[in-house]
Structure 1
Amino acid sequence: MVEAVESLLERTWLGITGLQWLAAAVILVALTPTLMLVRRVATRRLRKHAVRTESDVDDTLASLIERTRGWFFTLIGMRLASVTLDLPERWDHRIHVALIIGGMVQGGIWASTIVRYLVDRRFARHVHAEGASPQVTPIAQALLRLVGLVIVWSIVMLVALSAMGIDITALVAGLGIGGVAIALAVQKVLSDILASVSIIVDKPFAPGDSIQVGQLSGTVRRIGMRSTVLAASGGEELVLSNNDLLSSRIQNFTRMQERRVVLRIGVVYTTPQELLERLPDLLRAAVERREHVRLDRAALVNLGESAIEYEVVYWVTTADYSVFVALHQQLLLELLREMRGLGYEFAFPSRTLYVVPPEEGLPANPTEPASPAS
């Protein structure tokens, strides 16, 4: 029996003794289960640590370790075992290529996990407000995932083909030309889709917000992949292209915390000096008596063509438009009553024409020559 074992160990295959094959097999058989055991222990510890923390980074690390495949450990073991053997160049090259391809596939799995984590984390910031419409479009989230996965696995495929000795230059050129052709063919559609993703990610507005785009205004009803639907104040729906929407200036009134009001008042130039000096205090007092109002300034600002102009600037401490309208109306009515009672006259655009009689000795009709002096 001992002689048979010794004979087997001394026998050669591919120029390698049985003892060397046995040593390589021990490395392969021992390394793969060991790495799988390390993966299991590391995953378990990270999962326990993730329960005690609020961060999702440790969960992602645990997922990356957990998604490390057993066949990848086997390929690593095969490569380490082949190092101890003096294999023919052909077989050594095959094992090396197998490890590169397996490593790229495993790297693609890791990269796919990271892409999903980054996309989901970015969209997780868009929480749903209570009673409001959804602020996240699942289609856009899936689209970003798809784009990321396509890029990752395209790189994996190209590197794997290159490792197998296939010339990928023509393939890369063909993919580039095809991609450009497709992009040009669907340029408008792609621009609207990417604009939709930009709206959802950057969140300049959300469903339920009241916005104004140029001369158009309304409440955002739905954000689609190609267009955004607004409910106009007149009851009709406004459908705007996402790309055109982002290229315009957008005013979002829903996110306004306070409302700034600028009021200009003009009085006639014949107003007595005493009343002119008293007017800023009168304006200031009228504003400060209001609730939900914070005064900025009240002062004489300009000597206009037909009026002495005063400016009142104040803030309404709520964004509610109905509150602003009611407060502003009360302020205007009170100012009208008080200023009229004190004798102020409001100015309006007007011009005064002064007619001067002709000087003595000049003809009344400019076309007639003057008579000579006697």
Structure 2
Amino acid sequence: MEQWTIWLERDLWLNVAIVVVATVLIYSVLRTLVNTLHKRLKAWSKDQDGNWQHFVAVVIGRTNRLLLLAFSLLLALRLPELPGSWHSALSHTWFAALALQVALWVDSGVRLWSRSLVMGRNGGSYNPVMTTIISIMILIVVWSVMLLSILANLGVDITALVASLGVGGIAVALAVQTVLGDVFASLSIGVDKPFEIGDFVVFGEVAGTIEHIGLKTTRIRSLSGEQVVCANADLLRQVVHNYKRMDTRRIVFKFGINYDTPSDKVRQVSETVGDIIRATPKTRFDRAHFLGFDESQLTFEVVYIVLTSDYNQYMDIQQEINLQLLDALRELDVRFALPRRDLRLVGERMPVLKVAGLPQPAQSEGNEADQRLPRFS
């Protein structure tokens, strides 16, 4: 009967009514303030994701209604007189609700930040793998700190828990060190950006276009059509040539002319090559020199710059230079060199070739010290 008498007391129901009414009023005021601030900031940002007003508006919009109601109830419970044990419980509840709401705000801010980096806000897009890894690591830290802080506020000894988590983390890291090496290599690729999706790279015997950069592997579409999968850690250990970021090409090529060419025409060849390259679009002439005396030819070395990174355009330019060089040397009556050998017989007679039906030449007597065979070119 005494328990039912407590529920029939007037002061109890009066306090309950005060708490309920105060909770509704406080919740309505807080909800109105949050909605008004959210709308104002969103209007100031003009729906653009790149400014701080939009960022704050999205974070405030993540305010949880249930937690807001809990805040209102906790504020309302301060109005009536409560036992001392209630005040201790309310302080723990306050901290838990505040920690949860702060974690939600930070979670929303980190997700918005990573999405803006991937989509190219504030200039230049970032590697989605890198931003995903960083955002996941930040969120793990945020929620872990939130959980540990709530447990510590409730009086739980978290020292042993933190120590066990540390030992467990070390054990897991040792077990999956190869995978973690590739993951951190992917993070390094995302931060340093030696190459990105769509870049044409060459390393070792592989040449192709980057298709995907994952947590563990990078996938490359080779020139022959197949997909090459390479571990991120192994890829970073090699020298990678990134041709996508090449602005110009330095081209060096050689050709040879006949040894019978007069010296004045040799000089004209260098001048002619320079004139041809200067007249070719998207090129910058560097030099053309008579390099040296090689076997069977007088060698020229030509250097010029192609003002484009497109390989097909470079091949078109080189083809045009070759065709014009071929015509120009014909006009100068200069022949390209062909391999040839001169054979000599010393102290022997020239062999006599007998052909049926033809008169045979008379043999000359005497010792011939030096007779030359026909030249083969």
Q: TM-score range by the shorter chain?
A: 0.5 to 0.7
CA distance in 1, matches of 2:90, 2:225: 70
CA distance in 2, matches of 1:63, 1:215: 49
Equivalent residue for 2:203?
213
Is the 1:79–1:96 contact (alpha carbons within 8 Å) kept by the matching residues of 2?
Answer: no
Is the 1:210–1:253 contact (alpha carbons within 8 Å) kept by the matching residues of 2?
Answer: yes
Gaps of 5+ in 2: 1-8, 340-377
TM-score w.r.t. structure 1 length?
0.67
Identify which of 152, 164, 171 aligns with 2:142: 152
Q: Give the deviation of 1:28 after TM superposition.
A: 5.7
Residue 324 (structure 1) aligned with residue 314 (structure 2):
yes
Cα 1:120/1:92, change in 2 over 3 Å:
same
Identify which of 60, 64, 69 aligns with 1:65: 60
Residue 230 (structure 1) aligned with residue 220 (structure 2):
yes
CA distance in 1, matches of 2:25, 2:35: 16
Is the 1:283–1:298 contact (alpha carbons within 8 Å) kept by the matching residues of 2?
Answer: no
* 1:194-273 mapped onto 2 (5 Å cutoff): 194-196=184-186, 199=189, 204-206=194-196, 208-263=198-253
Which amino acid counterpart does residue 117 of structure 1 have in structure 2?
A: L
Equivalent residue for 2:100?
105
Q: Give the deviation of 1:212 after TM superposition.
A: 0.7
Is the 2:203–2:241 contact (alpha carbons within 8 Å) kept by the matching residues of 1?
Answer: yes
Cα 1:226/1:53, change in 2 over 3 Å:
closer
CA distance in 1, matches of 2:49, 2:117: 16
CA distance in 1, matches of 2:17, 2:89: 20
Cα 1:103/1:300, change in 2 over 3 Å:
same
CA distance in 2, matches of 1:64, 1:345: 75
Which amino acid counterpart does residue 245 of structure 1 have in structure 2?
A: L
Which amino acid counterpart does residue 281 of structure 1 have in structure 2?
A: E
Cα 1:329/1:158, change in 2 over 3 Å:
same
Identify which of 29, 36, 40 aligns with 1:41: 36
Residue 314 (structure 1) aligned with residue 304 (structure 2):
yes
* 1:153-168 mapped onto 2 (5 Å cutoff): 153-168=143-158
Gaps of 5+ in 1: 1-7, 127-134, 349-374
Cα 1:261/1:54, change in 2 over 3 Å:
same
Q: Give the deviation of 1:193 after TM superposition.
A: 3.6
Identify which of 268, 275, 278 aligns with 1:285: 275
* 1:4-153 mapped onto 2 (5 Å cutoff): 30-51=25-46, 53=48, 55=50, 57-73=52-68, 76=71, 90-125=85-120, 145-153=135-143
Could you give the per-residue CA deviations for residues 187-209 of structure 1, whole angstroms, max 9, x where no partner exists? 21233244445556765445554
Deviates more, 1:164-173 or 1:70-79: 70-79
Is the 2:257–2:334 contact (alpha carbons within 8 Å) kept by the matching residues of 1?
Answer: no
Superposed CA RMSD: 4.5
Equivalent residue for 1:359?
none
CA distance in 2, matches of 1:222, 1:28: 53
| Residues paired across the two proteins, number | 324
Cα 1:68/1:229, change in 2 over 3 Å:
closer
Equivalent residue for 1:298?
287
CA distance in 1, matches of 2:107, 2:251: 52
Q: Give the deviation of 1:172 after TM superposition.
A: 0.8
CA distance in 1, matches of 2:257, 2:79: 101
CA distance in 2, matches of 1:208, 1:55: 26
